[in-house]
């Protein structure tokens, strides 16, 4: 199963990707995680990415694609992968298609996670990230007290939660504007390829997970 999760910021891509990892045993390939890990390790691509991020520039697509190529060459991706955070625009989608053709791992499905923008704003404001393991939890949707008591797999202690700077309400409107202009056109792009599945991503996390499983088991839109 080789899939892309497509949706606006706060649509639940990361949460559902984690559940797919648990259920199907295939890795989540997050470009954000790849960039941070490569920069920390000081790999050649990581050093280029670190330089761009330090200068406030977007990391070039060629660097991101190089990291994805390296990640997909690892043994745990043999049974599939979940791409989260890439592609973000049509140019990246074309480049990704070319890369996946070269390595013989074309996509099986692209899932659009549809959520009303007002709900997205509310979700993003409640999102918190663990400083140690990177797990994302939402104070508005998780069980009361669960975020504070759940143990971090890296430390064995409660998660140390923080709000990312780009998760505050002041930045939400701009992030959604960028998504609408740059990423939403991918819906039609993947529909034309016969890969698109669209689900209602609002409501209980488990209910959304069931819709996602049903979509992946059925025909594309």
Task: Answer yes or no: is 203 within a domain.
Answer: yes
User: Residue 35: its pLDDT value, please?
Assistant: 82
Task: Answer yes or no: is 108 within a domain.
Answer: yes
Known catalytic residue: 175? yes
Task: Answer yes or no: is 32 within a domain.
Answer: yes
* The pLDDT of residue 92 is above 70: yes
Residue 56: pLDDT band by 50, 70, 90 thresholds? Answer: low
Residues 6 or more apart in contact with residue 144 via CB below 8 angstroms? none
Q: How far is 143 from 165, CA to CA, in rounded Å?
A: 24
User: Residue 173: its pLDDT value, please?
Assistant: 78
pLDDT in tens, 163-202: 887 776 677 778 888 888 889 999 999 999 999 999 999 8
Q: Which of 41, 154, 164, 210 is catalytic?
A: 164
Known catalytic residue: 71? no
Q: Which of 2, 50, 71, 88 is catalytic?
A: 88
Known catalytic residue: 122? no
Task: Report the pLDDT averaged over residues 151-158.
Answer: 93
* The pLDDT of residue 58 is above 90: no
Q: Which of 2, 13, 50, 123 is catalytic?
A: 13
Task: Report the pLDDT averaged over residues 40-50.
Answer: 83
Domain count, the chain: 1
Task: Answer yes or no: is 174 within a domain.
Answer: no
Task: Answer yes or no: is 134 within a domain.
Answer: no
Q: Which of 36, 175, 184, 191 is catalytic?
A: 175
CATH code of the domain covering residue 208: 3.40.50.300
Task: Answer yes or no: is 13 within a domain.
Answer: yes
pTM higher than 0.85 for the full model?
Answer: no
User: Residue 156: its pLDDT value, please?
Assistant: 94
pLDDT in tens, 102-148: 999 999 999 999 988 888 887 777 888 899 998 888 887 777 778 77
Task: Answer yes or no: is 209 within a domain.
Answer: yes
pLDDT in tens, 12-25: 888 899 899 998 89
Distance linking the first and last C-alpha atoms of the chain: 17
Task: Answer yes or no: is 172 within a domain.
Answer: no
Write the burial class of residue 184 (CB in 10 Å: 0-12 exposed, 13-18 middle, 19+ buried). Answer: middle
Task: Report the pLDDT averaged over residues 76-96.
Answer: 92
User: Residue 31: its pLDDT value, please?
Assistant: 83
Q: Which of 2, 123, 127, 128 is catalytic?
A: 127
Percent of the chain with pLDDT over 90: 45
Residue predicted with more confidence, 166 or 76:
76
Task: List the domain range (segments joined by +) for residue 74.
Answer: 2-115+198-217
Known catalytic residue: 127? yes
């Amino acid at each position: 199963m080789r899939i892309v999760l497509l949706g606006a910021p706060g649509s639940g891509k990361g949460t559902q990707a984690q559940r797919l990892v648990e259920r199907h045993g295939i890795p989540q390939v997050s470009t954000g995680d790849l960039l941070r890990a490569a920069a920390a390790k000081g790999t050649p691509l990581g050093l280029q990415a670190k330089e761009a991020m330090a200068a406030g520039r977007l990391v070039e697509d060629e660097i991101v694609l190089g990291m994805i190529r390296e990640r997909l060459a690892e043994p745990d991706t043999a049974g599939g992968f979940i791409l989260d955070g890439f592609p973000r625009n049509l140019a990246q989608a074309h480049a990704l298609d070319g890369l996946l053709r070269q390595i013989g791992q074309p996509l099986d499905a692209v899932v659009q996670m549809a959520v009303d923008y007002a709900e997205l704003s509310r979700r993003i404001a409640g999102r918190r990230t663990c400083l140690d393991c990177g797990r994302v939890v939402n104070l508005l949707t998780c069980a009361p007290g669960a975020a504070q008591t759940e143990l971090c797999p890296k430390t064995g202690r409660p998660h140390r939660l923080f709000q990312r700077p780009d998760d505050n309400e002041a930045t939400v409107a701009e992030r959604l504007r960028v998504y609408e202009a740059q990423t939403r056109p991918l819906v039609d792009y993947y529909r034309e390829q016969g890969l698109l599945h669209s689900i209602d991503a609002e409501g209980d996390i488990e209910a959304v997970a069931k819709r996602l499983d049903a979509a992946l088991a059925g025909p594309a839109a």
